[in-house]
Amino acid sequence: MIEQLLKGDRKSVARAISQVENDTPLSRGLLKELYGRTGRAYRVGITGPPGAGKSTLTNKLARYYRLQHLKVGIIAVDPTSPFTGGALLGDRVRMSEVELDEGVFIRSMASRGSLGGLSKKAKEAADVLDASGYEVVMMETVGVGQSELDVASAADTTVVVLVPESGDGIQAMKAGLMEIADLFVLNKADRPGADQAVMSLKMILGFRSHTEQSWMPDVLKTQANEGRGIEETANLIQRHRTFLEGSGELERKRKSRLEQRIREIIENQLHIDFWNSQRSRELHQKLDLLLQRQSNPYDVAADLLEDFRAGGEQ
């Protein structure tokens, strides 16, 4: 499978990502193997509030890259995205324009109910695409909530998509989007308030501390639906890439991402090690005492931790 995958075989890629998604024993070995072949894809994070048009932008950017004969992988982690949506109660998935293109691989991952492991899995899926020769990997997530932001910011270039209704940028600032944005796209720019929104975003960006050497995020207007502003967006992503590569910032960025990845792998494993059947059972047995206020959550936690440290039945 690995051999096929490295050659870019779509079925092997799909199977590998499924392994990753289900966190199978096989996936660990697979990712180890593949790691040495990663680092060639350029990763672009696309994030923003629900309804900003992230999927449409992702779609159009993918098409643009295809015209340059680049292979494009898309990981969509967004409960409001048509890529992830599924056909739910008549809410039809918009057929993506790139869905049938052999040079595009789209994978959606559900964001609910995955107990926090999703951010790790999404990045691992991006590794699979990277190793199998996709030259641009786009990760689309809804930009509210820590784990969604984690995914988007695990990219080389992070694009934050807003709409005029997103207000004057203050909301974006509060939601933590200002810190992770390498560039802003103001989508649906034909709507009223677009110019004011751009102006106030730029004003806020002006307050960010930066030196002459540092990257200054810019704001672009798009109408992704109509294909307007797509080329400009791709060009600005390219300019950011050139900046990162030239300044050594790309290496620093990837290094800190790597650190984050190792931390996630460890937290994940600790969780599995800790909650063996014996300790899970013990926790359940103590809950009644707790409800009667005959113990407290902190002492129960301390007892379980004590047992774990003593190496109890790992």
Residue 267 lies near its own copies (rule: CB under 8 A):
yes
The pattern of x and - marking residues 280 through 309 that bind its own copies according to CB under 8 A reads: ---xx--xx-xx-x--xxxxxx--xx--xx
Kindly report the number of other CB atoms within 10 A of residue 171's CB atom: 13
Residue 8 lies near its own copies (rule: CB under 8 A):
no
Q: Which listed range, 65-73, 131-139, 211-219, 255-263, lies at the site for its own copies (CB under 8 A)?
A: 255-263
* CB proximity list for 147: less than 8 A, separation 6 or greater: 111, 116, 118, 119
Residue 28 lies near its own copies (rule: CB under 8 A):
yes
Task: Find the shortest distance in angstroms from Cβ 296 to its own copies.
Answer: 4
User: In a 3-state reduction of DSSP, which class is residue 102?
Assistant: coil
Kindly report the number of other CB atoms within 10 A of residue 203's CB atom: 11
Residue 39 lies near its own copies (rule: CB under 8 A):
yes
Q: How far is CA 9 from the centre of its chain?
A: 24
43 is written with which tokens?
A: 């990763």
Interface with its own copies (CB under 8 A), residue from 24, 116, 199, 210: 116
Q: Is 146 exposed, middle or buried (0-12, 13-18, 19+ CB in 10 A)?
A: exposed
Question: Which positions from 71 through 90 interact with its own copies, judged by CB under 8 A?
Answer: 79-80, 85, 88-89
Q: Is 227 left (phi over 0), alpha (psi -120 to 50) or beta?
A: left
Interface with its own copies (CB under 8 A), residue from 109, 136, 142, 237: 142
Residue 35 lies near its own copies (rule: CB under 8 A):
yes
Q: What number of CA atoms fall less than 13 Å from residue 295's CA on the CB side?
A: 14
Cβ-contact 196, 281 below 8 angstroms: no
Q: Distance between CA atoms of 122 and 73, rounded to whole angstroms? A: 12
Residues that bind its own copies (CB under 8 A): 28, 31-32, 35-36, 39, 49-50, 79-80, 85, 88-89, 91, 111-113, 116, 142, 144-148, 170-171, 173-176, 204, 207, 251, 254-255, 258-259, 261-263, 265-267, 269-271, 273-274, 283-284, 287-288, 290-291, 293, 296-301, 304-305, 308-309, 311, 314
